[in-house]
């Protein structure tokens, strides 16, 4: 399986402790030093000679990690402190340079709705799921979301807005037809999230993809691995809501046997959704009916606003383009840490002219 890429966020060495989330940058400090940053090799620090009075360039990179910590029963743990965390890069423990409990960040959401023929009889379920999510999660004047549908190809139906009502109306107008280009949709949504509108007060934003689909794909030009790579480059976690007939059937009533089976039986498309969520630090949900969705979406909203941000300098000496595995551990027993799985070391950039 193709390993996963993640963008290393460049920043000023002297204000490295001010960085705090994947692809979310802090406002510049007051009276900043006369330095200018640019991308460079992982962990590199370069000082370029210049004539007297000229600005000195300093280059450095931090690996930024967003972590969610839960109990075995999926209850959020929000009171951990910095000494309780350990971060490993390719098996070697790293010094945590920055730590913060991320609470109540503005959200930038890509809501992806599968409108292909394969889910025709479940489209109303998908619409209800999308509307339920918007009602449970969106906050006016703080969060923004766009609606993208995908069948033969992805298409943005409603651009960024903080109005859940506008998004709901757009959801209700959708009809099913065509093939399924799920991977292309995630790639396209990731690219759009990478250019998400900033928050009004300059605070960091949390980027999220919520995709409602059965997990099938038969038309994408991009590969599954490329979709995960795109999400990680955008710093976006993927949350999947399955509309598979294994769990959801428009003509079926609640069957206790089927509800038990859904916890133990996974189809290949289900495993695809698990991969998207697991590789990017999100979650996959397999609701039986709309009645099951409310708690799922409440869990997503609470999780997104109660996470930990950690940053460390990547180890030196690795080859450019090499995949680095990330592992985050906590000292308390019985807790589960969800985060992205790794990143590719960036390639050096050419020095700019003066």
Asked whether 340 and 325 are in contact (CB, 8 A), the reply is: no
Owner of token pair 């399924």: 180
Whether residue 289 is predicted with pLDDT greater than 60 in this model: the reply is yes
Averaged pLDDT for residues 228-251: 81
Distance, in Å, from the CA atom of 23 to the CA atom of 256, rounded to the nearest integer, reads 43
Q: Which pLDDT value is given to residue 227?
A: 97
Closest CA to 310 of 37, 111, 95: 95
Element (H, E) at 186: helix 182-194
Instruction: For 300-344, list the strands marked E by DSSP.
Output: 306-312, 323-330, 335-338, 342-344
Give percent of the chain above pLDDT 90. Answer: 55
Q: What is the mean pLDDT of residues 1-19?
A: 38
- The answer on pLDDT for 313 being more than 80 is yes
User: What's this model's pTM, rounded to 2 decimal places?
Assistant: 0.77
Using DSSP, state whether 263 is helix, strand or coil: coil
Distance CA 303, CA 140 (A): 19
324 and 318 Cβ atoms separated by less than 8 Å: yes
User: What's the residue count for the chain?
Assistant: 354
Q: CA-CA distance, 251 to 73, in Å (whole number)?
A: 31
List 178's β-bridge partners, or say none: none
Give tens-digit pLDDT for 182-219: 999 999 999 999 999 999 988 888 999 999 999 999 99
Instruction: Please answer whether residues 191 and 234 qualify as being in contact, where contact means their C-beta atoms are separated by less than 8 angstroms.
Output: yes
Arithmetic mean of pLDDT, 153-181: 97
**Segment 106-124, tens digit of pLDDT:** 999 999 999 999 899 889 9
Find the range with the poorest average confidence among 158-162, 243-247, 299-303: 243-247
| 19: number of Cβ within 10 Å | 22
Domains with residue ranges and CATH for the chain: 9-102+307-344 (no CATH), 107-304 (3.40.50.410)
* Number of continuous H segments (helices) and E segments (strands) in the chain: 7, 17
**Residues with Cβ < 8 Å from 195, sequence gap 6 or more?**
none
Whether the CB-CB separation of 111 and 133 falls below 8 Å is answered with: yes
CB of 308 within 8 A of CB of 69? yes
For residue 18, the 8-state DSSP code is G
Residue whose structure tokens are 């490993």: 88
Give the residues across from 310 on adjacent strands.
65, 99
| Residue 36 predicted with pLDDT over 70 | no
Looking at residue 293, what is its pLDDT? Answer: 75
**Alpha-carbon gap, residue 113 to 243, rounded angstroms:** 10
pLDDT band of residue 294 (cuts 50, 70, 90) is confident
Burial of 319 (0-12, 13-18, 19+ CB in 10 A): exposed
For helices 123-137 and 164-172, angle between their N-to-C axes, nearest 10 degrees:
180
Pair 345, 42: CB distance under 8 Å? yes
């Amino acid at each position: 399986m193709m390993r996963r890429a993640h963008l290393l966020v460049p920043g000023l060495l002297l204000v490295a402790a001010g960085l705090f989330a994947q692809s979310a940058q802090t406002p510049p400090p007051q009276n900043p030093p006369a330095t200018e940053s640019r991308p460079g090799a992982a962990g590199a620090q370069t000082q370029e000679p210049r004539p007297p009075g000229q600005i000195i360039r300093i280059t450095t990179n931090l690996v930024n990690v967003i972590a969610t910590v839960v109990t075995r029963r999926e209850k959020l743990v929000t009171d951990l402190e910095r000494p309780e965390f350990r971060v490993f890069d390719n098996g070697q423990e790293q010094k945590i340079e920055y730590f913060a409990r991320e609470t109540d960040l503005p959200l930038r959401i890509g809501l992806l709705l599968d409108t292909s023929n394969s889910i025709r009889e479940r489209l109303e379920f998908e619409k209800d799921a999308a509307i339920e999510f918007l009602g449970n999660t969106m906050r006016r004047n703080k969060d923004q979301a766009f609606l993208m549908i995908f069948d033969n190809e992805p298409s943005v139906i409603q651009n960024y807005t903080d109005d859940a009502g506008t998004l709901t109306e757009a959801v209700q107008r959708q009809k099913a037809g065509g093939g399924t280009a799920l991977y292309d949709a995630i790639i396209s949504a990731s690219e759009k999230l990478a250019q998400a509108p900033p928050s009004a007060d300059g605070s960091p934003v949390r980027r999220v993809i919520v995709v409602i689909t059965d997990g099938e794909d038969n038309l994408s030009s991009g590969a599954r691995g490329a979709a995960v790579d795109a999400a990680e480059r955008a710093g976006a976690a993927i949350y999947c809501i399955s509309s598979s007939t294994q769990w959801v059937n428009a003509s079926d009533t609640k069957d206790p046997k089927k509800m038990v089976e859904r916890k133990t039986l996974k189809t290949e498309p289900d495993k695809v959704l698990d991969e998207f969520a697991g590789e990017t630090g999100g979650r996959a949900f397999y609701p039986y009916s709309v009645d099951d969705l409310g708690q799922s979406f409440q869990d997503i909203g609470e999780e997104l606003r109660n996470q930990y941000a950690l940053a460390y300098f990547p180890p030196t000496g690795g080859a450019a383009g090499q995949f680095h595995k990330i592992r985050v551990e906590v000292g308390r027993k019985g807790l589960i840490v969800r985060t992205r799985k790794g990143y590719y070391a960036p390639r050096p950039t050419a020095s700019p002219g003066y």
